[in-house]
Amino acid sequence: MANRQTPIQRLLRLLVRIERRAPFAISGLAFFVGQLLVLSSQSYMLFGCVTCLALILSRLSLLSLAKTMLPLLVGMLSGFLLVGRGALDMEQHQDLSLLVSLDSQLRHRHPGGVESIGEVLHVVDPTDTTEKLLHARILLRAKDLPWFNSSSWQKGDIVFLRGDFSPLQAHALESSYEGSLLRKGVLGRFRVRFASRAVAHSRSLFSKVRQKIISHVRHLLGNDEDSGLLLSLLVGRRDTLRRSTDEAFRSAGLSHVLVVSGFHVSMIFFLLVSILRVIRAVIYAGTGYVIPSFFEVLTALLFSLLFVGICGFEPSGLRACMALGFFCLAHQVGGRALSWGGWSSCLVCLSCLWPACILDIGVQYTFAALGGILLVTQRDPLRVPQVDLKGAKVSEYIRVSCAATFTTGLVSWIHFGTFPYLGFLFNLFLAPLFVLIGTKLGYFALGLHFLGLDTDGVMLSLCRDVLSWMKEFVLFVTF
């Protein structure tokens, strides 16, 4: 009778296997643990325990000490760099007038409102306390008017604002939205009551394309909520959605559909990979020329990045492109364990660019979904299977969808106390349909319109109507 292994022995064998097939995964996790150690009030005790564990494992020749302790110390150092950062020491001020340079594009995080981050260039009629705002970064937020007619504003514009300022009462290492803003260098909120653009910055190519798409869709379909739902799936524009719609999609576990998330980027990426794979096979059959296997992966990744650029380079889309890039690299090297190396490598690189980023809820959603997918994936998703079984594909799709819903639902439960049970069903059927009709077929319909093959926008109208029926179904089920 074979000896049964204890849980500790199984864990050690798993660490050895990962160390052999994906060495950077262990180093990345050590870096991640190092950043989290500084968040605890007992960080010195935890550091001592982790150090002893690393020494024991290295002594047993299970893990290299340099691959664990050095990333651990670097991670702790990057975390300690944030300890001294806190909120701005000043009181709330009513009716301030500021000259601000926009550091980011206008974002429609909530229906009926917009926000952006800007740097204060000048304070009108400054006092001893308001002078502290000079060159500070603040979060600009407004609902409906006065920013309703400011859709053409973009990064780099200088605007004159009047409104109310309130400093952030948080710490940079807090796992909250305020802490996330402080980690980005934002020191306060500014509720805008009046706004006008003083100096317009030259628009980028992505901004011009995005604005052209918005203007054409609104010219053909109007400016109601149904056309706004199509625009949210095309370019991430949410200014015409009702709050009730937003809450219904959140209750159904479909809130990621209304923003440019990793779900959109991954679906577009894998669609392009499939199309390019067929093109590569046709070229080989016709000419005998063998195109390198990474051709479709790199090309699909490039077009996915272009899609994110048209949508305004949303952080969620950029995180998805970064993760896809690391997974493509893992695919070229080979091995499912290397996918976990890509997962941890992406998290480490993101942490270097933005220390303690794992505290941001959006980052937690992204990596929780990726982790859930990797836990249940039996093979490399970019590798062509030897035997194409439809039943196996359906089974794997169900496992992946449920795993991603479960892991992201845990994040929602931890932060908001709610778990999207309906998401297990809706993410299987409705989420792919929303992206298929609103994003994939939407861009196809736009292409037909721009080429003059559908000047009246009949296909765009059809996409809008189908999306409207699906939206009403979500509203009916959730309320």
* Phi, psi for 417 (deg, rounded to 5): 75, 15
The helix/strand count (H/E) of the chain reads as 17, 5
Q: How far apart are CA 406 and CA 371, in angstroms?
A: 11
Higher pLDDT, 469 or 345: 469
Q: Which of 147, 136, 230 lies closest to 436 in space, CA to CA?
A: 230
Q: Could you tell me the pLDDT band of residue 39, with boundaries at 50, 70 and 90?
A: low
- For the chain, the straight-line distance linking the first and the last C-alpha, in angstroms and rounded, comes to 58
Q: pLDDT (tens digit, 9 = 90+) per residue, 98-136?
A: 888 888 777 766 656 677 888 888 888 777 767 777 888
Check pLDDT > 60 for residue 445: yes
Closest CA to 473 of 410, 436, 430: 430
- At 254-291, the pLDDT tens digits run 888 888 888 888 888 888 888 888 888 888 787 877 77
pTM comes to: 0.77
Q: In 63-112, at which residue ranges do the beta strands (DSSP E only) sit? A: 93-102
The pair of structure tokens assigned to 176 is 């909250």
- Say what the alpha-carbon torsion angle 233, 306, 334, 10 is, to the nearest 10 degrees: -50
**Average pLDDT for the chain:** 75
Average pLDDT in the 410-438 region? 86
Among 59-63, 143-147, 220-224, the minimum mean pLDDT is found in: 59-63
* Residue 43 predicted with pLDDT over 50: no
Enumerate domains of the chain plus CATH numbers.
7-80 (no CATH), 93-205 (2.40.50.140), 255-419 (no CATH)
405: helix, coil or strand?
helix
For 163, phi then psi, to 5°, come to: 175, -155
Q: What does the CA dihedral 24, 26, 31, 36 come to, rounded to 10 degrees?
A: 150
* Alpha-carbon torsion angle 197, 201, 205, 206, nearest 10: -50
> What is the per-residue DSSP string for 317-362?
HHHHHHHHHHHHHHHHH--HHHHHHHHHHHHHHHHHHSTTGGGSHH
At 135 the pLDDT is 81
Give the containing element (helix H, strand E) for 58: helix 43-59
pLDDT tens, position by position, 75-103? 666 666 655 555 556 667 777 888 888 88
- CA proximity to 188, closest of 252, 137, 251: 137
Phi, psi of 258 (to 5 degrees): -80, -5
Q: Are 408 and 261 in contact (CB under 8 A)?
A: no
How much is the average pLDDT of 444-462?
88
Q: CA–CA separation, 52 vs 54, rounded Å?
A: 5
Round to whole Å and give the CA distance between 443 and 241. 20
Residue with the two structure tokens 């923003």: 259
Cα 317 to Cα 15: distance, rounded to the nearest angstrom? 31
Q: Report the pLDDT value the prediction gives residue 42, as an integer from 0 to 100.
A: 44
Of residues 321, 293, 342, the one with CA closest to residue 21: 342
DSSP strand pairing (113-123 vs 93-102): antiparallel
- The whole-number pLDDT of residue 466 equals 92
Q: Which is nearest to 176 in space by CA: 166, 186, 163?
A: 186
